[in-house]
């Protein structure tokens, strides 16, 4: 039996999950792997008296973790992208293997860390999609494949809000408030609802699946704060659910890397992934379509991924610690969002006057944009406004933006035009 001793940085939800899972499953882990795990040190700003450290020493100094010869692996669970990066770098420099759940550090600094400290293991399964072993699937299970796309619901907070709006008919602000009360959203929810968290995760998936450096700046980002119940209801009537997706796709023109609201057909599995659940759909040449779904956050769920990495290091040592070196000449370029092709959902608020629909259709036709389906409700009174709702066929982002700019200038258009991209994921 091999003894393997952890030093944990942080004492939040995930750190407590790691302590709890080891306490509950230590014998099972040992029987399956031949590794006896224990936590010998914990470092955090404050000691929480309600948390059982299982005999581990407590410190307020992060340096105590990587300077202690009794610690075999350091687990970084403090979050953020400044102190955490400095701590990870110092640990690697001290030749301590590191397991992290920090998607921001990997998305922004992962290339340098993996390259400069290539002889020391740095693993980050828990950085993307919580308990779902999607990084392991791409790096190992599907390693013989060429990837066409990796598309996922990779932020549980946004998915919870959209699900609440869909199922209960509540407004965005009310759904967000409930998410905060339940602990699914932070007091400042910006990273989640504006798509930054999902973009960090997509940058990692993009780099792994398409053999390129991690680069957060490659990702086009839109959040969910502009979503309305009206659009959710119209999407439902047209046979779709609205999801916040991260999309990495190989096309003949280049790589798409984008995070935004998306209409997904109800028949697609992703459309039925609700609440705080995450799901990632991968299409590759040999394996075809594979889908991975499960809890995207939570103490025990994320701890599961953390401990999978810890055990891999315990069993394999530095065998998987290789620098990520790439030839820029061999890399497919990232497509600017203006060149991305997709279908679109459009909602245009107008006055109920004869010929409005024809004028809208004419403006779209100037850019060779065809209408796939349309809804136009009858006004209840002569003073009511109406919404022209339509699905377009596939077109470029540049053309739909230009066409809708012309539509917005029509005198009958009374407000902002809503537009959401549509993905059939075929």
Annotation marks residue 2 as catalytic: no
2, 48, 103, 201: the catalytic one is 201
CA 231 – CA 165 distance, rounded (Å):
10
Evaluate whether 242 touches 162 at the Cβ level (below 8 Å): yes
The residues that bridge with 39 in the sheet, in sequence order, are 6
Who's near 363: CB < 8 A, 6+ residues apart? Answer: 403, 404, 406, 407, 410
Measure Cα distances from 186 to 79, 192, 354 in Å.
Answer: 13, 8, 48
Q: Where are the alpha helices (DSSP H) in 265-423?
A: 299-316, 356-365, 397-408
10 Å Cβ neighbour count for 212?
21
CA 365 – CA 146 distance, rounded (Å):
37
CA 73 – CA 99 distance, rounded (Å):
7
* CB-based burial label for 192 (10 Å; 0-12, 13-18, 19+): buried
Helix (H, G, I), strand (E, B) or coil at 244: strand
Residues recognised as catalytic:
201
């Amino acid at each position: 039996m091999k003894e393997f001793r952890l030093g944990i940085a942080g004492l939040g939800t995930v750190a407590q999950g790691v302590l709890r899972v080891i306490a509950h499953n230590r014998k099972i882990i040992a029987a399956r792997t031949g590794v006896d795990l224990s936590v010998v040190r914990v470092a955090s700003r404050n000691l929480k008296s309600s948390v059982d450290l299982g005999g581990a020493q407590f410190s307020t100094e992060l340096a105590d973790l990587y300077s202690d010869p009794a610690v075999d692996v350091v687990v970084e669970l403090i979050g953020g992208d400044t102190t955490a990066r400095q701590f990870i770098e110092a640990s690697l420099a001290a030749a301590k293997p590191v397991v992290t759940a920090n998607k921001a550090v990997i998305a922004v600094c992962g290339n340098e860390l993996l390259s400069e400290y290539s002889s020391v293991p740095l693993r980050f399964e828990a950085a993307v999609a919580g308990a779902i072993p999607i990084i392991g699937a791409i790096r190992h299970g599907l390693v013989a494949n060429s990837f066409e796309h990796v598309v996922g619901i990779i932020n549980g907070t946004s998915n919870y809000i959209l699900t609440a709006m869909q199922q209960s008919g509540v407004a965005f602000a009310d759904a967000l408030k409930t998410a905060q009360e339940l602990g699914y959203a932070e007091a400042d929810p910006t990273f989640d609802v504006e798509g930054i968290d999902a973009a960090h995760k997509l940058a990692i998936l993009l780099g792994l699946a398409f053999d390129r450096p991690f680069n957060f700046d490659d990702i086009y980002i839109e959040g969910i704060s502009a979503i309305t119940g009206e659009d959710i209801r119209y999407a439902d009537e047209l046979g779709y659910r609205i999801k916040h997706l991260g999309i990495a796709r190989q096309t003949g023109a280049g790589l798409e890397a984008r995070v935004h609201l998306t209409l997904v057909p109800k028949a697609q599995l992703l459309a039925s992934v609700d609440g705080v659940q995450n799901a990632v759909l991968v299409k590759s040449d040999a394996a075809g379509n594979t889908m991975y779904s499960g809890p995207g956050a939570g103490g025990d769920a994320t701890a599961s991924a953390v401990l999978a990495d810890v055990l891999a290091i315990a069993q394999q040592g530095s065998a998987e610690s290789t620098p990520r070196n790439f030839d820029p000449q061999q890399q497919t370029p990232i497509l600017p969002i203006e060149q991305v092709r997709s279908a679109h959902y459009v909602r245009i608020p107008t006055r109920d006057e004869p010929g409005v629909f024809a004028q809208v259709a004419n403006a779209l036709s100037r850019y060779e944009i065809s209408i796939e389906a349309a809804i136009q409700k009858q006004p209840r009174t002569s003073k009511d406004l109406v919404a022209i709702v339509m699905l377009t066929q596939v077109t470029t982002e540049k053309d739909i933006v230009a066409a809708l700019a012309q539509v917005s200038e029509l005198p009958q258009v009374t407000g902002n035009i809503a537009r959401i991209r549509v993905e059939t994921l075929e």
